[in-house]
C-alpha cells in the first residue's frame, strides 16, 4: 500500500507540474520548472502518451487533491489521528481517480517504468 501511495504521489506531483501549473508553482516559489520534475520522471510521463484531455483531467484531480490535503492540514479542530485517517482517505480517492483517467496500458506502463508494482 505504501508503494502504491508513493507511486501515486509521485505521479500526482509530476502531473501537477505539467504546463501552466508548473509555471504557477515556479513563479510562486521562485524555482525553475526543470527542478520540479526529475529527467527520469519527465521521460516516464512522456512515455505514457497522455492525451490532452487526460492531462487536463489529471491536473484537475491533482489540484483538488492538493486543496483537500491543505484544508485537512490547516484544520485545527481535528486531532492528528483524525488527520491521518482523512489523509489516507484522500490518498485512496486520489489513486482511484488517477486510475480512472489512465488507460490500463498507461497504468501498467507507469508501474513498469517507475519500478513499482502494479496493484491487484
Domain boundaries of the chain, sorted by first residue: 2-114
Tell me the C-alpha distance between 15 and 58, whole Å.
7
pLDDT at position 75: 96
3-state percent helix, strand, coil for the chain, nearest multiple of 5: 80, 0, 20
> 6-45, pLDDT tens digit by residue?
555 555 555 554 444 444 443 444 433 333 345 676 787 7
pLDDT for position 54: 92
pTM: 0.59
Please tell me the predicted confidence (pLDDT) of residue 100.
Answer: 93
Query: What digits encode the pLDDT tens for the residues 77-97?
Result: 999 999 999 999 999 998 899
| More confident call, 32 vs 76 | 76
- Residue 94 contacts residue 10 (beta carbons within 8 Å): no
Measured CA distances, 11 to 23, 30, 74 (Å): 18, 22, 24
In angstroms, the first-to-last Cα distance of the chain is 11
120: DSSP letter: -
Give me the pLDDT at residue 51, please. 93
Angle between helices 104-114 and 2-16 (to 10 degrees): 100
Q: How confident is the model at residue 69 (pLDDT cuts 50, 70, 90)?
A: very high
Amino acid at each position: 500500500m505504501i508503494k502504491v501511495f508513493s507511486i501515486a504521489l509521485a505521479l500526482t506531483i509530476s502531473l501537477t507540474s505539467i504546463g501552466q501549473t508548473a509555471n504557477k508553482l515556479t513563479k510562486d516559489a521562485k524555482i525553475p520548472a526543470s527542478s520540479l520534475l526529475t529527467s527520469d520522471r519527465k521521460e516516464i510521463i512522456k512515455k505514457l502518451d497522455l492525451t490532452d484531455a487526460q492531462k487536463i483531467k489529471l491536473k484537475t484531480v491533482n489540484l483538488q487533491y492538493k486543496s483537500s490535503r491543505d484544508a485537512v492540514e490547516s484544520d485545527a479542530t481535528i486531532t492528528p489521528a483524525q488527520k491521518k485517517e482523512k489523509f489516507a482517505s484522500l490518498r485512496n480517492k486520489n489513486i482511484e481517480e488517477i486510475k480512472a483517467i489512465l488507460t490500463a496500458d498507461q497504468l501498467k506502463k507507469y508501474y513498469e517504468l517507475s519500478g513499482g508494482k502494479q496493484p491487484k
